[in-house]
Amino acid sequence: MQHQSTNTERRPIRRIVIAGGGTAGWMAAAALSKTLGKNLDIKLIESDEIGTVGVGEATIPTLLTFHSLLELNEQEFMAATNATFKLGISFENWRNVNEDYIHSFGMTGTDHWTAGFQHFWHKGRERRLATDYGDYCLELKAAQERRFAHLPNNGLNYAYHLDASRYAQYLRSFSEKFGTQRIEGKIAEVKTDPVSGDIRSLRLESGDEIEGDLFIDCTGFRSLLIGQTLGVEYENWNHWLFNDSAVAVQTASVSDAVPYTRSIARDAGWQWRIGLQNRVGNGHVFSSRYMDDETATRVLMANVEGEALVQPRVIKFTPGQRKQVWKKNCVAIGLSSGFLEPIESTSIHLIQRGIIRLMQMFPTNGIFQSDIDEYNKQANYEIEHIRDFIILHYKVTNRYDTPYWQACKDLDIPESLRHRIELFRETGRVFRIPNELFAENSWVQVMLGQGIMPLQHHQTADLMGDAELAHFLDSIKSHVHKVAMQLPSHQAYVEQYCRAPM
């Protein structure tokens, strides 16, 4: 019996079946067909009747890496998806009501090998030689000025705002060129091997049966393969992340699109506003413990600009992750593997990481448990670091004005996050953990932005006299200001570079 099971596991992997389309399914199809497609038979099953969540409109700079792997033409992709540029996220009312800051991409100032720039800035604040931390970051200054252009040597770090449904359509036509076959239909049954427990085939409502060697679960929150069929449990993180609902609506544009995502804190959650070329994406992420759907919808509709283009719709989710995202011959990518919440635009990034990791560990000659274990370990490690970064936004706040914010402030947080907050508060130090998504500058910007001012700075900063420190800080600030003010307006640049066909 054992011998038979091992043979099944070692079957060469040639037939890939992707269950579900949407952003996750078509990103997986695009990457696999472009890089490994000559050796594989790739089928994607999706139903026109099943809608996708389709509101993941904000991305982070790692998507540029994915696109370079696919060799996509940026102008063509942006025009096809109504995309605009994104330099960061504006957090409004988060530290306190009427207090705002921006978490931008890129670097702030210049680091020394012994200490990050924040130490020199901190010393400058003490001596009244430094202005706002954001004044030393080009991406942040350009965002504030609503300007954008491509600079030589990737001099400006950016991502995109895009129409997620159009992005899936764009990647579909890309994947089909590389041989991915799309099969229209609803999955009626997932058939497993009685001996090994592996998934053998998917039976559609039409009666057709699609067999495969490796199955990728992109069925969204339903998690039809890895959850419902293979029984992998879901680890619920709602004791740390209270938000479990979102209401989303699209509105007509009434002003120029800005090159940053707006995140506006509300009484029991926060609202996003994302400007695309042809419309604005809006949503209200909230906790059902502190607000009902009707009130949340009313709050959103009272705080949008422009006419609603669709009816608002409520999306329910459970923050957390699957305890395994690869089990037997099934890998979960996207919402089927877990979901945190959209605050730092990490959903598409986690899809991308899952796909890249699968390609790095692709089981060409059969599936080995050691690969599965390593994949799951890396996936878990990655999402936990992102989870901690997201919890930070809620825990560190001066807001105490509603029961929701009181509960956030009183939150009992993971030990891993507690250490990072205390380290920064006491010493100003931030150390990046290998392979984690958010670099030191992200942690510094958010911790300062949310109201933590370190008690001290590194002694290296004390080696500079006032004149030297003032010159150091002023030269960075004036360079940032000069470059930012030479950039064209974001709106003008988008219209000239990648205007979408109307």
The per-residue pLDDT for 56 is 63
Question: Contact 385/433 with Cβ under 8 angstroms?
Answer: yes
Name all domains of the chain by residue range, CATH numbers in brackets: 2-57+163-239+319-367 (3.50.50.60), 245-316 (no CATH)
The per-residue pLDDT for 453 is 96
Among 23, 259, 146, 48, which residue's Cα sits nearest to residue 489? 146
Q: How far apart are CA 350 and CA 344, in angstroms?
A: 12
- Give the HSE-up count for residue 175: Cα atoms under 13 Å, Cβ half-sphere: 28
Phi-psi region of 111 (alpha: psi -120 to 50; beta: other; left: phi over 0): beta
- Beta bridge mates, 215: 17, 330
Among 197, 159, 188, 178, which residue's Cα sits nearest to residue 81? 159
Q: What is the 3-state secondary structure (H, E, C) of 338-367?
A: EECCHHHCCHHHHHHHHHHHHHHCCCCCCC
The per-residue pLDDT for 5 is 41
Q: How many helices (H) and strands (E) does the chain have?
A: 15, 21
The per-residue pLDDT for 55 is 64
- Beta bridge mates, 91: 101, 263
The amino acid at residue 171 is L
How far is CA 283 from each of CA 124, 392, 400, rounded to the nearest angstrom? Answer: 39, 21, 23
What residue ranges of the chain have pLDDT lower than 70? 1-9, 50-56
The per-residue pLDDT for 1 is 40
The per-residue pLDDT for 54 is 56
Among 459, 216, 167, 180, which residue's Cα sits nearest to residue 355? 216
pLDDT tens track for 241-295: 999 999 999 999 999 999 999 999 999 999 999 999 999 999 999 999 999 999 9
Of 34, 38, 43, 86, catalytic? 86
The per-residue pLDDT for 235 is 96
Instruction: Output b/e per residue, 276-299; b: 16+ Cβ within 10 A.
Output: bbebbbbbbbbbbebbeeeebbeb
- Verify whether residue 141 is a known catalytic residue: no
